[in-house]
Structure 1
Amino acid sequence: MSSQTPESAPTGATLDEQQVLDYLRAHPDLLRRHQDVLAALDVPHQSGEGAVSLIEYQVAILREEARELSQRLDHLLYIARDNDRVAEQLHRFTLELLAADDLEGALVALRDGLRQDFRADVVQVLLIGNDLAAAGVPVLAADDPEALQLEEHFPGSTPVLGHFDVDRFGLIFGDQAEGLASVAVIPLDEPPLRGFIAIGSRDPERYHDEQGTIFLGQLGALVARVLRRALPGERA
């Protein structure tokens, strides 16, 4: 029966470490490609002149991660503050609409509020219906070709945002379309009232099809209810 002394025992750990060292020497960019491993290493802070130690590299990585986290936090804070601003504007806008005595006053409050608080360059209100006695806004008969085109281009109840062609800008804004680069079209659906609010902007990035529409949908529901109540014979 033979025995092994400590000197003759297998040195698996030493061999494994040597294999790792050999691999690192053969692939000097390995830790750069796997920075999560680098950040977890425990390395003494020793480096020769002109060299950057691993711990210094770790610190640089952590600083970059901290910078990215700080940017994300700043972005979230900006969104939160912007949401607060929009909520305050919508509250003020709602009060102005509710204070209107008639349809004409509601339309004035609508246009002024959208221009002042929501940076609208042009506001157009289009109502569709055969029996709408509305003052101060275009009223189209339900079978009017222009009304049919509007219904075809903007079906349903979801706001539509983006960059339209010249013909569609002209259909919505008429002679006010010149210079407009983006638009939000908000359906109004509060029977017997049916129509659209169109908000035009000269900024091509103001409204685009990747934006959310929840806020604009809520705005449209609010305006539709106020305008419907302001129609002659509809006020409760």
Structure 2
Amino acid sequence: MTHASMNPITEDDIANFLVNTPDFFDRHAELLATVKLTSPHGQRAVSLQERQAEMLREKIKGLEMRMMDMMRHGTENEVLMAHLQRWVKSLLMNPIARDLPRAVAEGIQNEFAVPQVVIKLWDVAEPFQIEAFVAGVTDSAKAFAAALTTPYVGPNQAFEAVTWLVEPSAAQSVALIALRATREQDTPRTAVEQPVVGLLVLASPDPERYFAGMGTDFIERLGDLASAALTSLR
């Protein structure tokens, strides 16, 4: 019995031989024209060159799709930044302090297509303590807001803050963002230690608009900008 019959050549042996013998096809170039492979687009046999061309086309198509995704996301970001700029610009141009909470809420609602938005504040200066944006806030709501180290996003769980909306029953998913004091004298070591002075509520009838686990970076930025815009009320 020969050694070859005891240890038959396997596909791995052939693959290893070809990988480790790069000049094999230099010596047997005629084989390249006769090798046939199965095409992934049906069961027809194609030449090695055709299969390589198909693989290259598939790779190019994948790269094109990735490029299109990058361009689409880039365009979406540009549009988002344009809306953000318009919103901030409108707040900077508003000279009446008591109108700012309404301007913040309406700007978010219009620029970012949020069906319902409301703001409630506390610890405001005496001239503003009779305003609607201060009324109806309980100690329980203040404690809830103070406990938010990051925005809450997810289903409406009968939050008190949702009752501040014009149509509470239409709020299926919500984002609740704590508004923090941003005056220099209010700023301790970290942003999360700044005292909470209000709550921004975003609500949608779409139960998937705000969901647990979604990214909240942009929502947090809205809250930070809103907090800064409302500083004059304190």
Q: Same fold (TM over 0.5)?
A: yes
Shift of 1:146: 3.2
Q: How does 1:1-236 map to 2 (within 5 A)?
A: 22-24=9-11, 44-46=32-34, 47=36, 50-129=44-123, 133-134=128-129, 135-139=131-135, 144-152=139-147, 155-156=148-149, 158-165=150-157, 167-168=158-159, 171-174=160-163, 176-190=167-181, 191=186, 194-229=197-232, 231=233, 234=234
CA gap 1:177/1:68 in 2 versus in 1, 3 angstroms: farther
CA contact (8 A) 1:127 1:193 kept: no
- Give, in whole Å, the separation in 2 of the partners of 1:159 and 1:148: 14
Distance in 2, matches of 1:96 and 1:217, equals: 19
AA matched with 1:23:
T
Q: How many residues align?
A: 193
TM-score by length of 1: 0.67
User: Contact 1:104/1:136 (CA < 8 Å) preserved in 2?
Assistant: no
Q: CA deviation at 1:203?
A: 2.4
The structure with the largest alpha-carbon Rg is 1
Code of the aligned partner of 2:213: E
Q: How many angstroms does 1:130 deviate by?
A: 7.4
User: Which residues of structure 2 form unaligned runs of 5+?
Assistant: 16-23, 26-30, 38-42, 187-194
CA RMSD in angstroms, aligned pairs only: 3.3
Q: Please give the alpha-carbon distance, in whole angstroms, between the structure 2 residues aligned to 1:225 and 1:130.
A: 14
Give the structure 2 partner of residue 12 of structure 1.
none
* Structure 1, unaligned runs of 5 or more: 1-14, 31-40
Greater shift, 186-195 or 108-117, is seen at 186-195
The change in CA–CA distance for 1:54 and 1:100 in structure 2 (over 3 A counts) is same
Distance 1:149 1:137 in 2: 17
CA contact (8 A) 2:153 2:211 kept: yes
- Equivalent-residue separation in structure 2 for 1:59 and 1:185 (angstroms): 53
* C-alpha distance in structure 2 between counterparts of 1:163 and 1:61, whole Å: 46
Q: Give the aligned residue type for 1:87.
A: M
- Secondary structure of 1:197's counterpart equals strand
* TM-score computed with the length of structure 2 as normaliser: 0.68
Q: In 2, distance between residues paired with 1:103 and 1:161?
A: 29
Aligned to 1:3: none
